[in-house]
Amino acid sequence: MWHPYAAPGAPAFEVIGTDGAFLQLADGRRVIDGMSSWWAACHGHSHPRLVNAAKEQIDRFSHVMFGGLTHEPAARLTTQLMELTRGDFSHVFYSDSGSVSVEVAIKMALQASPPERTKLLTWRSGYHGDTFGAMSVCDPQGGMHSLWAGTLTEQVFAPAPPTEGASESEQSDYLAQMERLITDDVAAIIIEPGVQGAGGMRFHDNALVAGVRRLCDKHGILMIADEIATGFGRTGSLFVTQDAGVVPDIMCVGKALTGGFISLAATLATGDVAKRMQPTPLMHGPTFMANPLACAVAAESTALIAEGQWRSAVPRIEAGLRKGLQGAPGLTRVRGAIGVLEMDHEVDMAAATEAALKHGVWLRPFGRLIYAMPPYICTDEDIARICRAIHAAGEAA
């Protein structure tokens, strides 16, 4: 059996139960899920409202094809997404993973653009998924998909953006450098606003996000915002693009969309994009598109987000991470409910993972990074324990 980013038969810890912020392992250990199970379980595990939403929908029906049919959970979720995004978008396409939502975004951008515009511009150190279109806009050199560099569509790459706290002149120079890469064949710029996730956990200022929007407007190209990791409060704002005061033409969301309960993602588009795509249909149709069970759970998860408890929880978690990571053996950075320890060497993943488990925390280090994206329901003591685990993992790595 394959596990993600591993050879067949790689060791894995068996989970036999979940409760709130905790995982119950088969070996008897009860550990904090410091990863929110890859950044998705923002409300914690087995949230009663999500469980009830799933049970109620199962009693009705769990799946129907979305081709030629529709259903109330999808309509309800669509309404809630439109409200959360303040009416900035008018159309939504549902898919079953974040990678596929990026594939759909790329198709939308190319279909809405003149035929000579066939390329996307992005910046290095980015990550947008594991399918071929998404991989083509991941960093082709330093990213995890360099193995496929010769077979992917060649896109246009700017250097990695200046990190958080860069001066205005540094940011201005960087945007000027990006602008020089906008040629007549570029259809869109795609970025992860605020936080570059699996490409290196790099943070950048909202001013860069606003600058990208200005470049797109100036050159008549589209802006795609990949908010799969950052959306629904992770950085302390509902969406980074909202906090930056910009509206992308296309936005991808996923992960926390269902609170980590079941796989679902969405690609949102403005009315202008949808109009420019007509009358040609969008030729994409996943078998499990807008799965009713997933939509019902996502509608409840987004209702929880709309109620806003995260607005006080995330700043509290951020403060706890900042305090707890002081003195850690490496470079630390914190933004919202994201805490990162960057080492000066490749992390011994097995040693770091076991060190964290000894402190009662599940972490998933990669590269030179040991990091946490805890559920918003974590207590101050939970966050302190996560920080102790990161310290220990850094010492062991």
Distance CA 116, CA 129 (A): 25
255 annotated among ligand-binding-site residues: yes
336 annotated among ligand-binding-site residues: no
388 annotated among ligand-binding-site residues: no
- Is residue 174 annotated as a catalytic residue, yes or no? no
Candidates 94, 127, 371, 376; catalytic one: 127
123 annotated among ligand-binding-site residues: no
Please answer whether residues 269 and 81 qualify as being in contact, where contact means their C-beta atoms are separated by less than 8 angstroms.
no
- Is residue 5 annotated as a catalytic residue, yes or no? yes
- Is residue 226 annotated as a catalytic residue, yes or no? yes
User: What is the DSSP secondary structure assignment for residue 138, as one 8-state letter?
Assistant: S
193 annotated among ligand-binding-site residues: no
38 annotated among ligand-binding-site residues: yes
Please answer whether residues 390 and 325 qualify as being in contact, where contact means their C-beta atoms are separated by less than 8 angstroms.
yes
- Is residue 255 annotated as a catalytic residue, yes or no? yes
Q: If phi over 0 gives left and psi between -120 and 50 gives alpha, with beta otherwise, what is residue 46?
A: left
4, two tokens: 């993600």
To the nearest 10 degrees (0 to 180), the angle between helices 72-84 and 292-307 is 30
**Quick count: other Cβ atoms within 10 Å of Cβ 176?**
11
What does each C-alpha distance from 298 to 19, 87, 116, 138, 310 come to in angstroms? 19, 18, 38, 27, 16
286 annotated among ligand-binding-site residues: yes
Q: Point out which residues pair with 366 in neighbouring strands.
A: 369
Please answer whether residues 364 and 353 qualify as being in contact, where contact means their C-beta atoms are separated by less than 8 angstroms.
yes
Candidates 33, 94, 255, 371; catalytic one: 255
* Residue (of 47, 21, 45) closest to 33 by Cα position: 21
**Quick count: other Cβ atoms within 10 Å of Cβ 92?**
18
Candidates 226, 249, 371, 376; catalytic one: 226
Q: Say which residues have a Cβ less than 8 Å from residue 273's Cβ, sequence separation at least 6.
A: 91, 108, 109, 112, 222, 249, 250
159 annotated among ligand-binding-site residues: no
Helices (H), 129-270: 132-136, 168-179, 206-219, 240-243
Distance CA 46, CA 38 (A): 16
Candidates 5, 19, 185, 218; catalytic one: 5
385 annotated among ligand-binding-site residues: no
127 annotated among ligand-binding-site residues: yes
Q: Which residues are annotated as a binding site for substrate?
A: 38, 127, 255, 285, 364
Known binding-site positions = 38, 98-99, 127, 226, 255, 285-287, 364
- Could you give the residue numbers annotated as active site? 5, 127, 226, 255
Which residues line the annotated binding site for pyridoxal 5'-phosphate? 98-99, 226, 286-287
